[in-house]
Structure 1
């Protein structure tokens, strides 16, 4: 009986058919784009879609890129155990979209860059650019490994799908359409996969509403179980999720993910106008609202069904990330093909993120490491190079899946990776964009100090996870289970892994309950602030920026801060900015950018 514990069914033939059709469909989109654009083999076409993309598909791709399989599986489990506080990230998405669209997009767009880290060389120096690129490659490889491994493990243990078989299949499909179709294939495949992810959530919610007697009953159960108390205004930075940590820390974390992460930057600079680029982020914001709302409500649906029989406490699953797959097999086993749709949804998230990562890794490697050294490559050589790097990075991402098995709770681990590395990088960008005095020495040392601190806190928090009084898990019961491990009881399920619990019980230093317990959401904010403050101080000590003539295009302009830029006015806006630039000093750097753009156009024509 649903909601009373015990083993659940495994995949039927129709479930395998639905899952397989989704994977083949994703590969088919890549092949279609490869055939369609076979005559357009330039690097600009492969990496940026010829800079002719429009707002809506790019927006859906932006949403799908980071709404990964981890989100599909991890967010409902988060709401089930900790309540609907994760819904507050909708406010963070709004702040992030506005900052990215009005500050970062205009700057990157007018510079005509391909790699987001080109800016670091233009503003600071080439060594800093290479360091930023290297940090991104390491971060992305780790994150992508986690994206591949975690959903595969959860689904393997619930559905019986072969773990490494699915891992390799995921990587091969992504390699196929990334290497053949480039960014266009990635974006249009993301559009398909976004729809499948949302359909998976809707299927879970709809079936849960039928079982529980309506959406109103699910909401009532969530309220009685304390799952709707989302607004905690406690300013304690050690508490895992509060209103302040999510709105302030979460906004900075998502700004770091969207504004300077190559996977995202590469999408909005592929738009054909600045207006389309800005609009893609605002449409993406709505997509994020819808996705997080469906994911959280799926978690509340799960709680309504299992409020009297927690599968984790009852021993039916071994980790919280298996809760949603368990629910799907429990409530949808009588509907052949629907569990397969959910698995397809989880893997659509995985495919979209992995393909985005591979394409972005190829872009930064080509632009930051290869083109500056080998400048006379032919279009055919560049095409083979792009495809070869896609295969290489696909293999690296599959290999990193093994490392990801050591990362613990997937949703928090994934966001912590971005916080530890992207926070200091964001601080470096803001240091260069908002202030004219910081020099290369101040920027580099400030970022290193920020990175050391965030790695110290982040890794310490992984080794010695915060205690329950900081994470605040909500009570779960097994009194309604058919078969329990012992007598009926109510428990607060720990969010840590068994390995981390062992570490806690054997030795726990005093610093673990203070410094290491800092909310993971604040890691980006910490890294950003430390980088900016230290960068300004060190630059002042070392004489500041001695280069008097600086290109004004490298800094945020007042014209960038207009809240909306209509698509049909974007060309006029660009002309005005160009005219304004001509009257400023620093024309020599602008000329360098013009030469670079001219060379790119010639390469495209070839």
Structure 2
């Protein structure tokens, strides 16, 4: 790949635009179909939960599609390229998450027959990340992409409800997985096979799974990824409205547990494909790193750049992969918009307007999807000023907010002696601690050593080289300020810290106040 690396960046061909447009039209058509089929989304039960008649396979594929956001498609391969394959162990953490979710949390939610549990917004990252990468590398308008994704997703979610979300997810997850596979096959064929790719990655230090150090400041170790990662994914599945709403929609506990098992298997496959993409990129650019040659600005643009380079002489394939990135954003956004509406209706509207008819509730639900869709576009503008890598930013956000929240749910479900003062105090304390660490880490970024790269194989040696090696040493970081070690705690531990602080402090306050009910 290094032989043709110095050629000018490719732009989209007519075929690429046709394929991308076709994917967006299919997603829209699915929404229109469900707006005029079945019960035509006239009840809140159908609009928000598809009348609880969803097949487990459809629900599982929808969960996988929601998991594969643009953050996953762009951030995971870049993570593997720069830091190695330790992230792959997040697949093992799904075993922990699966046990906690299916055995402890789902039975409670199914028994209560609820619609809402809660939801939180990280959708600006989801919407902005793929648009940034595509605009910088493929020449697609940044805000044109943001607005297009936001409008299309809001439209089909508004008119088609949960059924539209589910079936567009099924279509989109097929596109996303096919896009990953096409990159791996194409990249390995350039190298002469997967064996060659793996050998190059091993020699470059990218294949490393068994780091058992217990230092919490090391970004990725076996313990931080598997144990800390298990808790982080737990925040997404145990107490995340978008995921659990799909489980609730299947109608029974057994079907919900089957859904989760299938979903976790699918997610492990997706993580594996994303990491293989990262190794494939590294093996192709082993002698001419794009970041070091200033061909791209951010690591999150690596995969899109690789696609444009890899498929430069194959019109349509770049558009097909881009369709996968757009599909990832659409699936996550539609799922979350639907979930946000469910929370608003169940937790804020029904308690105060108990006599509102179901017809008005359904119309209000559709209006709320539209409003939230517009808000997400504005949130994407705020995300644009952040410089942190999107994968770490997203997972860090899950941990900071999700850890204390899963702690709050645990206090209510598993500790009957907890009172309201203890629960609220525990949540506030947990949030203070995780926000302190997370914001501190943004202001004073922790030292994270990157694996070495090379530019020795570049064809055009006259282009400037921008070093990607660390000029900022660990010793300089440690002595810069007193709290450097505290802020250096790996983002993978945020959820566990938030959970522990919330539960322990919540129980302590409950015992001190002594008002148990």
TM-score by length of 1: 0.82
Does residue 296 (structure 1) correspond to residue 275 (structure 2)? The answer is: yes
Once the two structures are superposed, the pairs formed by residues 475-486 of structure 1 within 5 Å of their partners are 475-484=452-461
Q: Count matched residues.
A: 513
Q: Return the offset for 1:37.
A: 2.8
- Could you tell me whether the CA contact under 8 Å between 1:475 and 1:493 is conserved in 2? no
Match of 1:97 in 2: 98
Match of 1:67 in 2: 68
- Could you tell me whether the CA contact under 8 Å between 1:49 and 1:183 is conserved in 2? yes
Does residue 207 (structure 1) correspond to residue 186 (structure 2)? The answer is: yes
Match of 1:262 in 2: 241
Match of 2:481 in 1: 510
The change in CA–CA distance for 1:454 and 1:85 in structure 2 (over 3 A counts) is: same
- Could you tell me whether the CA contact under 8 Å between 1:479 and 1:490 is conserved in 2? no
* Structure 1, unpaired ranges of 5+: 118-135, 495-500, 548-606
Out of 402, 421, 433, which is 1:422 matched to?
Answer: 402
Out of 164, 182, 187, which is 2:143 matched to?
Answer: 164
* Structure 2, unpaired ranges of 5+: none
Does residue 453 (structure 1) correspond to residue 433 (structure 2)? The answer is: yes
- Other structure's SS at 1:446 match: helix
Once the two structures are superposed, the pairs formed by residues 77-88 of structure 1 within 5 Å of their partners are 77-88=78-89
Q: Deviations over 1:12-37 (max 9, x none)?
A: 00000000000111111111111113
* Separation of aligned partners in 2, 1:462 and 1:289: 29
- Could you tell me whether the CA contact under 8 Å between 1:424 and 1:447 is conserved in 2? yes
Match of 1:573 in 2: none
Once the two structures are superposed, the pairs formed by residues 372-521 of structure 1 within 5 Å of their partners are 372-407=351-386, 408-467=388-447, 471-484=448-461, 491-492=468-469, 509-521=480-492
* Separation of aligned partners in 1, 2:208 and 2:357: 60
Q: Deviations over 1:508-541 (max 9, x none)?
A: 8524521111100100000000000001110000
- Could you tell me whether the CA contact under 8 Å between 1:416 and 1:523 is conserved in 2? yes
- Could you tell me whether the CA contact under 8 Å between 1:154 and 1:325 is conserved in 2? yes
* Separation of aligned partners in 2, 1:261 and 1:528: 15
Match of 2:304 in 1: 325
- Other structure's SS at 2:486 match: coil
Q: Return the offset for 1:265.
A: 1.2
Does residue 217 (structure 1) correspond to residue 196 (structure 2)? The answer is: yes
Does residue 307 (structure 1) correspond to residue 308 (structure 2)? The answer is: no
Q: Deviations over 1:139-189 (max 9, x none)?
A: 41xx11011111101110111111111111101111111111111110111
* Separation of aligned partners in 1, 2:227 and 2:274: 22
The change in CA–CA distance for 1:39 and 1:220 in structure 2 (over 3 A counts) is: closer
* Separation of aligned partners in 2, 1:466 and 1:220: 31
Q: Compare CA radii of gyration and give the structure with the larger one.
A: 1
* Separation of aligned partners in 2, 1:10 and 1:487: 23
* Separation of aligned partners in 2, 1:493 and 1:16: 39
* Separation of aligned partners in 1, 2:357 and 2:9: 57
Q: Return the offset for 1:275.
A: 1.1
Match of 1:543 in 2: 514
